Amino acid sequence: MEFVTLNNQVKMPLLGIGVFQLQDCEKLMLEAIESGYRLFDTAQMYGNEAGVGQAVKKTSVLREELFITTKVWFSNAGEQKAKASVEKSLQKMQLDYLDLVLIHQPFNDYYGTYRALESLHKEGKIRSIGVSNFYPGRLADIATFSEIVPAVNQIEVNPFFQRHQDQENMQKYKVQPQAWAPFAEGQKDIFKHPVLQEIARKHHKSIAQVILRWITQRGISALFTSSKKERVVENGKIFDFRLDQEDLDKIATMDTRQSVFFDHRDPSGLEYLGTIPFNA
């Protein structure tokens, strides 16, 4: 496994598992840990933080070798409420500390939420703090006027939404980009796309491996979700090949510069997220 060094000198695996929509994530995590994975990403909204904690408790791998992330949902925004919610997340996971906590969405009182994360970081309960789904303007805002610059910004990155300008902006503030939905959740027949099929045949790899290699080769940490052990094992085998410039140029033609899901800058995005059931 390869690593990236965050702006606070904490090392984070370049490739990890997201447990979104995986209610039985304990079994998957234990299998993934056995296969060499060390980075696992959950969130308050996912409803499976307890399962993540159970896997950490049951594995024989030392806690300090694992990198565990959770995210604060916007209904828990505000300094006091956010801090209490992270304490509750720690209790659910039966952990003494978290490696990374992010603001899940750039809505509600995210400044108050960020102050809560800064406080918990100073108390040693969070090793690194950051944000998720922050576009350049809001990232620049919080990076400029907060005491601690975000270590990570977790955003949608896939061949249809490549985010090169966003990555350049993050580099300016020394914020590590991390990709969610690298496979666009299978939309637009991504696993049958002729460009990706051609590159996969060329390197004797799967399309999923090509996509993950494309992301990590850019220096972006990647998170993928799969409930199938064989896919998890296969997707980890991406550090034994490199895409050449011809491959990169072909993938560049796939960029629509639009989200496959929704635009966080559009009010309809917040309206959609507000319909998602969430029990604090």
Which active-site residues does the annotation give? 46
Q: Regarding beta strands 126-132 and 98-103, do their DSSP bridges make them parallel or antiparallel, or are they unpaired?
A: parallel
| Those residues with Cβ within 8 angstroms of residue 247's Cβ, 6 or more apart along the chain or in another chain | 199, 202, 210, 214
Residue with tokens 């020394």: 174
Q: What is the rounded distance in angstroms from the CA atom of residue 122 to the CA atom of residue 125?
A: 8
Q: What is the rounded distance in angstroms from the CA atom of residue 12 to the CA atom of residue 1?
A: 10
Name the DSSP letter for residue 45. G
Task: Work out the widest C-alpha separation in the chain, in whole angstroms.
Answer: 53
Number of helices and strands (H, E) in the chain? Answer: 11, 10
Specify whether the CB–CB gap between 72 and 82 falls below 8 A: yes
